[in-house]
Amino acid sequence: MQLPRLMGHRGAAAVAPENTLAGLRAAKDQGVDWVEFDAQLSGDGVPLLLHDDRLHRTTGDRRKIAEVPAAEASRLDAGAWFGPAFAGEPIPLLEEAVALLAALDLQANVEIKPSPGLARETAQACMELLQQHWPKSRPLPLISSFEIAALEEAQRLWPEAPRGYLVKALPQDWQETAERLGCVSVHPWHPGLKPEQVQAIKQAGYQVAAYTVNAPARAAALLAMGVDCLISDDPAALLPVVQEAVTV
């Protein structure tokens, strides 16, 4: 699997509310072929798109998602906080996102983002749903996570789906972990990323996807270091840099 040069983060989080169907459409409108989004479980075990384990920041609800059934979570407004144009935009179920990705012809990096203590359950439910609903005709999604246990479950249950190892700072044993989990890529936080680390990851045979890159100058520097993929809230702002890097 070849990662794209550029992928929208949480949809396209600078221009539409994160982890919503509107965000997936916005990413498509911004000209990317890939999106990253976060998947976790409702209180009744249904995978849906949400970053935080609490609902407050994006919906105003004071509860944790692990306490709220999917039917109730789906009725919350996850768009109004971002802007009045998005009022009423719901928290989408992963199943709904999969259908929209197919309709939009978008490829996906599904980040397993479990609530505390639920890494295995979250990965299991997401893998089951994806295996059931991901159209056979489409390239498989890239499954990433910071949680080793989630990647282990992804590997066990859907070994064919490519995996990305998400890290903040690159840990000392990154190579051993990436190898054990059969990852195709390593996804480091870009601010601390050094050229020699990018080189080492690539030399070991993995692609590098850096998050969350929004400044064009930093994007150009990362591409010059050899980073394969930029994960960005604002893909349209980085497109010119990416296109220039491809033509030189």
What is the greatest pairwise CA distance in the chain? 51
Q: How far is the CB of 167 from ligand G3P (least distance, A)?
A: 10
> Least distance in Å: CB of 198 to ligand G3P?
16
* CA distance to 80, 143, 155, 246, per residue, from 37 (Å): 19, 10, 19, 25
9 is catalytic: yes
Tokens of 54: 């609490």
DSSP 7: E
Task: Please choose, out of 18-26, 33-41, 59-67, 190-198, the segment that lies near Mg ion by the rule CB under 5 A.
Answer: 33-41
Q: Judge whether 51 counts as a catalytic residue.
A: yes
Sole window of 12-20, 75-83, 110-118, 201-209 interacting with Mg ion (rule: CB under 5 A): 110-118
Pairing of strands 34-41, 107-112: parallel
Question: Which residues ranging from 116 to 155 are in contact with ligand G3P (CB under 6 A)?
Answer: 144
- Interface of this chain with ligand G3P, residues 27 to 66, rule: CB under 6 A: 36, 38, 51
How far apart CA 156 and CA 45 sit, in angstroms, is 20
CB of 209 to ligand G3P, least distance (A): 7
Q: Report the alpha-carbon angle 221-226-230, nearest 5.
A: 70
Question: Where does this chain bind ligand G3P (CB under 6 A)?
Answer: 9, 36, 38, 51, 111, 113, 144, 166, 187, 211-212, 231
